[in-house]
Structure 1
Amino acid sequence: MNNRILELLEKQGGSYLSGELLSQELGISRTAIWKQIKKLEAAGYEIEASRRLGYRLMGRPSKLTMQELGLKLQEKQVSMIHGIRLFDAVDSTQNIAQRLAEDGAPEGTLVIADQQTNGRGRMGRKWVSPHGKGIWMSFILRPGMPIHFAPQLTLLTAVALCRALRAAAAPLDIGIKWPNDLLIGGKKISGILLESTAEEERLRYVIAGIGISVNLTKEDFPQELLDIATSLQIQLGRPLGRAEIVAGFFAQFEQLYAIYQKEGFAPIQTLWEALSVTLHKPTKLIIGGKETIGTPIGLNEQGALIVQREDGTRVPLFSAEQVPPAG
């Protein structure tokens, strides 16, 4: 019932909706409407009430709530989520999702937190995850496919996230840096970490971890990161609804995951290459501690990045550090 009231108030776009119309729409008394409004206020929603005009939504909770997440997922017609674990603060959503997967949690189990105290990215790097300002989440996949397909899932996740953020934060030009970062103007706004467990060369489960710097300000970043990291709010000039972004991502992911399972990697490859900021630019690559200069020219059918070296040879890479060459 709360979700339905919230949906109707949101559709008003900040205008009043009378208690009488709410009562007629939901088939309950105006007293019952008032009680439900009080529950929404207790959950952190700011609702202005007028005896003459009715109710209007003035603000959303600074914390993520099950009500708002549920409403947004329902609005986007997302069906892949089968259980949400919402936390105020955790060490890492990735750690919790892994424990749940080992205990048999189904595909589509989502772990999301308002804060991470020890969030991590690739190669054990820490991720800045302040309270109430970003999206820090991990979800379980059980694709049941051979282990060598795992890199394709990282690329699929990047495409879904890039498409969702472009829609939520238009007109920002957001692109994918291989293998797992999203950038605006060369600065990182999001990272993706997929960790898998296999048995007899088949994936038992995959934990997809995503961190998105949504409403962080410059003061939230350490000084040494300001030249390489940013947030959607800094770039757009206004805050964004985090639950809306979460739902938008899963709507994109669910659609692409279904295409991938039906048609294979080729459609995902095409989309990734179109969104990439990595391709056709000479790049310094650090592979096994050794530096080489090459130009990424595309993906192969396994999901490896094809790099053309200065001598014209081409090599497929599944993992490497990529930084712009000096000068």
Structure 2
Amino acid sequence: MKEKVLKLLKKHKDEFVSGQEISEQLEVSRTAIWKYINALKEEGYEIKSVSRKGYMLISTPDILNYEEVSEYLYTHYIGKEIFYFDSIDSTNVKAKELAINDGTDGVVVIAEEQTKGRGRLGRSWVSPNKKGIWMSIILKPQIDPQDAVKITQVTAAAIWKAMKQIGVSPQIKWPNDIVINGKKVCGILTEMSGELNRLNHLVVGIGINANTNIGEFPEEIRDKATSLKVEVGQDVDRKKLVGLILNNFEDLYNKLVEDRSIEEAIRICKENSAILGKDVRIIIKGEEKEAKAIDINAEGELIVQDKSGSISKIISGEVSVRGLYGYI
């Protein structure tokens, strides 16, 4: 009911809505309305109350719950249910718990802060409160397990499109990073549960340094990490960016699930690659080799050429790709 009160106030933004009108529309007592209004105020909503006039919504807080994100959401099922947390150990951990317990396709877990955020290969991910976008998407596609790796490319393309829509021009560093000016602004962690011929579920974790200040990064990663705020010089609208990512993701994800196509996602990843045409270090289980990144094929695999001219395919997974003299 609190959500319905908020929706009504948003519908009449910058206008007073009488307690009587809210009471009649929602069929609850005016005392109950008063309690819901106070609860919203405690969550950070600025609501003006004037006798004989009613209530007027003045401003909304910078939080990523469903009520705030839904304004920008045009999906059919991705993000239509959001589990929102002020603080959590890891959105991927929670999403995997929900997926096992019949969490439906498209459910999203979002937290304002992660205390044990994780990246690929067991790395930690710094996730300060209300500074970034820390979310995970539960997916239950009817695809072969070997096609699950394609989800990472779909996610990267969706994030790239969303950032372009807010005026940012990032690059994609295969297989799972978004970079701006050579520094990492976003990481993707895709985890799968399945058997040899059956996929149970996927969880796609997305971590974006949105409004993090440079001084809030640990000193040891400041030379290779950045945020959207650092790059554009001002705070970005986190709610809008979440909505845009989920909208773009559903479109590209549906093409994979329904048409078995990631053509658009691969095109975006190739045209905006941070590494294609460059010499890179490929790190697999601690072993390194140097090669030139020359292409990304239709399966989302990285095509590389070593110094002898031999060409091979690299599958994402337990692989890191680094520039010879830096992050990219």
Quick check: 1:199 aligned with 2:195? yes
Kept after mapping to 2: 8 A contact 1:182/1:189: yes
Pair 1:305-2:302 in alignment? yes
- Residue 272 in structure 1 maps to residue 269 in structure 2: yes
Question: Partner residue of 1:90?
Answer: 88
What amino acid does structure 1 have at the position aligned with 2:239? Answer: A
Q: How far has the Cα of 1:153 moved from its partner?
A: 0.7
Asked if residue 237 in structure 1 is aligned to residue 253 in structure 2, the reply is no
Q: Which residue of 1 aligns with 2:107?
A: 109
Contact 2:283 2:321 in 1 (8 A): yes
Paired residue for 1:69? 69
Equivalent pair of 2:229/2:235 in contact (CA under 8 Å): yes
CA distance in 2, matches of 1:147, 1:166: 31
Amino acid at match of 1:61: P
Q: How many residues align?
A: 315
Kept in 1: contact 2:10–2:57 (CA 8 A): no
Partners of 2:211 and 2:228 within 8 A in 1:
yes
Residue-by-residue CA offset, 1:106-148 (whole Å, 9 max, x unaligned): 1112111111110000000000001111111111101121111
Residue 40 (structure 1) shift: 4.2
8 Å contact from structure 1 (residues 82, 107) kept in 2: no
Matches within 5 A, 1:1-327: 1-5=4-8, 7-8=10-11, 16-17=14-15, 40-47=40-47, 59-73=59-73, 76-168=74-166, 170=167, 172-263=168-259, 264-319=261-316, 320-326=319-325
Contact 1:260 1:267 in 2 (8 A): no
Residue 48 of structure 1, CA deviation = 5.8
Higher mean C-alpha deviation, range 129-138 or range 117-126? 129-138
Aligned to 1:244, the other structure's residue is in SS state helix
Query: Which secondary structure state, in structure 2, belongs to the residue aligned with residue 173 of structure 1?
Result: coil
For the 8 Å contact 1:19–1:55, the answer to whether it is kept is yes
Bigger shift: 305-314 or 62-71?
62-71
State the SS of the aligned residue for 1:158.
helix
In structure 1, stretches of 5+ residues that fail to align are 11-15
Q: What is the CA distance between 1:149 and its match in structure 2?
A: 0.6
Kindly indicate whether the alpha-carbon contact (under 8 Å) linking 2:90 and 2:118 is maintained by their aligned counterparts in 1. yes
For the residue of structure 1 that corresponds to 2:148, the secondary structure is: helix
One-letter code of the match for 1:240? Answer: V
Percent identical pairs in the alignment equals 35
- Tell me the distance in 2 between the aligned counterparts of 1:78 and 1:212: 24
Residue deviations 1:197-236, cap 9 Å, x none?
Answer: 1124221110111111111112211112111111111111
Q: Distance in 2 between matches of 1:146 and 1:305?
A: 20
Query: 2-side partners of 1:155 and 1:326: how far apart?
Result: 25
* One-letter code aligned to 1:153: I
- The structural deviation recorded for 1:174 is 0.8
> 1:144, 1:204 within 8 Å by CA — same for their partners in 2?
no
Tell me, yes or no, if the aligned pair for 1:260 and 1:268 is still in contact at 8 Å. no
Tell me the secondary structure at the aligned position of residue 150 of structure 2. Answer: helix
Report if aligned partners of 1:194, 1:206 keep a CA contact under 8 Å in 2. Answer: yes
After TM superposition, the score normalised by the length of structure 2 is 0.85
Deviations 1:47-100 (A, max 9, x none): 56789x998765431443342133332xx3453335321111111111111111
CA distance in 2, matches of 1:126, 1:303: 25
How many Å separate the matches in 1 of 2:230 and 2:56? 28
The 3-state SS of whatever aligns with 1:283 is: strand
SS at match of 2:44: coil
